[in-house]
Structure 1
Amino acid sequence: MKFVQIIDYKTERPDGMNTLMDKWVEQTKGKRTATHSLVGQDRTDASHYVEIVEFPSHEEAMKNSHLPETDRLFQEMVALCDGMPSFTDLDVVRDEQLNTATARRVFEEICVAGDLDIVGQVYAPDYRDHDVLKEAETVTGSDVIREDVTHWRAAFDFAFTLHDQIAQGDDVVTRWTWTGLHKGAFLGVQPTGKQCTMTGTTTFRFRDGKIQEGWWHYDAVGLMRQLGVI
């Protein structure tokens, strides 16, 4: 079970705190068990900070706490704080990665199921699309998704297998395998009835909960080879 520690403190020396954290990160390379650290500043009190540190489990967090570097960090941190920091230990009982869930909707509900009515819910109106098969480097507007899905669904009966999703900041990267039966004209190639497979990755950049930009990278050459074009 994931474990999170919340550290609540006040300081008038945030630069010193950042320097201290940078030093700890450098000194604990290969030893620390913390997987994610986030620091927030109170908008109503500039001296009030909250740090959220994530670990794979409580046991791994304890290993991290027992590192000599962590003990030194705590002592130096206290010296920079106005008063003693407070600590809250939490077992994570629910973890919703909302952007990754939205990315999955693209593949499962829009591409495979063909539900174009939800494009406006998922994509920003000024969405920017980058696709290896397009002549233009960038195509703008969510209508490009409707056009692409309509085109691919007319040419293939297909499905996606989603292998991995990695979320960092506003970006979600999905690694996938696509399998499709060639049933209609595609890029000038008449239906072959062949079952084709290709792998790829898609990176979506989110803004305000919607997809603002997308990069589609896949084995287009391999697909054309399977269709007999190459």
Structure 2
Amino acid sequence: MTFVQVIDCKTSRFQELDRLMDAWVQQTKGKRTATHSVIAKDRADASHFIEIVEFPSYEEAMRNSTLPETDRIFQEMVALCDETPTFTDLDVVRDQQMFSATVRRFFELIGTPGELPPLDEVMQEHYHDHNPANVDDAIGMDHIRRDMRVWRDGFDFEFSIEDLIAAGDRVCARWFWRGTHKGEFLGIAPTGKEVTMSGTTVFRCGGDGKLVEGWWEYDRMGLMEQLGVFEELER
């Protein structure tokens, strides 16, 4: 889960503090675990500054805090402040940018050649899938992996993401799929044909950024037509 630390301080010596932060960045190059940092000044109080630092997780933040350079810089930072700075530790529970990145990563993983990679980095264990091609919803990562196996055994394929739109805890992905029919798929013998399909999936994400539910819509009829199913029926 993404972790954010907010550092609140007052100082009349900001230029010195700013140079100190530059020194810390230089000294911890290659060892820092922070992914993003923003420093802002209070418009109503020129001595009031807030720094917001983002980490991939709380554990990574703790790794960062144990660096000897961090401890030394902190002591010098306190000396430059007019009063002791305060620290607020926050777990991110909603981050639309993170949700979008998870969805993009999900499509990358399921299209990876060879053995299907683990999905636990992008999907909760009890993920709930709504797919119009299935009579019953698929619930749980094991069910999802079985469904994916049907597609991966039948095709070598890849996804391209045409649009990602995030709102609240939902991400809507408009995607394009391209595959080669290499193996049996739903009883259809391999044809070697190059086929394409477009679709849209709406995902719901949890506070940890992982997928918890998905609703799929795609041109299954068009795919069957490309595989020659209707030609066989007409004969």
Asked if these proteins are the same fold (TM beyond 0.5), I'd say: yes
Distance in 2 separating the partners of 1:115 and 1:217: 26
Aligned mates of 1:206, 1:224 — CA distance in 2: 31
Gaps of 5+ in 2: 1-94, 231-235
The alpha-carbon distance between structure 1 residues 140 and 221, as it changes in their structure 2 partners (threshold 3 A), is same
Residues of 2 paired with 1:186 and 1:216: CA distance?
Answer: 19
Matched, 1:166 2:165: yes
* Residue equivalent to 2:106: 106
Match of 1:225 in 2: 225
Match of 2:216 in 1: 216
Kindly state the Cα deviation for residue 181 of structure 1 after the two structures are TM-superposed. 0.5
1:34-90 CA-to-partner distances (Å, cap 9, x unmatched) read xxxxxxxxxxxxxxxxxxxxxxxxxxxxxxxxxxxxxxxxxxxxxxxxxxxxxxxxx
**How far, CA to CA, are the matches of 1:118 and 1:217 in structure 2?**
24
Moved more, 142-151 or 191-200: 142-151
RMSD: 1.8
- Structure 1 residue 145 displacement after superposition: 2.1
- Once the two structures are TM-superposed, the CA of residue 207 in structure 1 deviates from its matched residue by 1.1
Check the 8 A contact 1:124/1:210 in 2, yes or no: yes
In structure 1, the gaps of 5 or more residues are 1-94
Percent of aligned positions with the same letter in both sequences?
Answer: 50
* Correspondence list, 1:184-203, <5 A: 184-203=183-202
Rg (Cα) greater in structure: 2
User: What is the CA deviation profile of residues 175-209 of structure 1, one whole-angstrom value per residue up to 9, with x for unaligned ones?
Assistant: 01101110100010000111111100111101122
Amino acid of the residue matched to residue 167 of structure 1? A
| Cα distance change, pair 113–202 in 1 and its aligned pair in 2 (3 A) | farther
Correspondence list, 1:8-157, <5 A? 97-113=97-113, 116-136=116-136, 138-157=137-156
How many angstroms does 1:117 deviate by?
Answer: 4.1
**C-alpha distance 122-189 of structure 1, shift in aligned 2 (>3 A):** same
SS at match of 2:129: strand
1:201 and 1:115 map into 2 onto residues whose CA distance is 25
Distance in 2 separating the partners of 1:176 and 1:157: 16
Cα deviation, residue 146, structure 1 = 1.2
Note if contact 1:183-1:191 (Cα within 8 Å) is conserved in structure 2.
yes
Please report the TM-score for the alignment, with normalisation by the length of structure 2.
0.54
CA contact (8 A) 2:138 2:144 kept: no
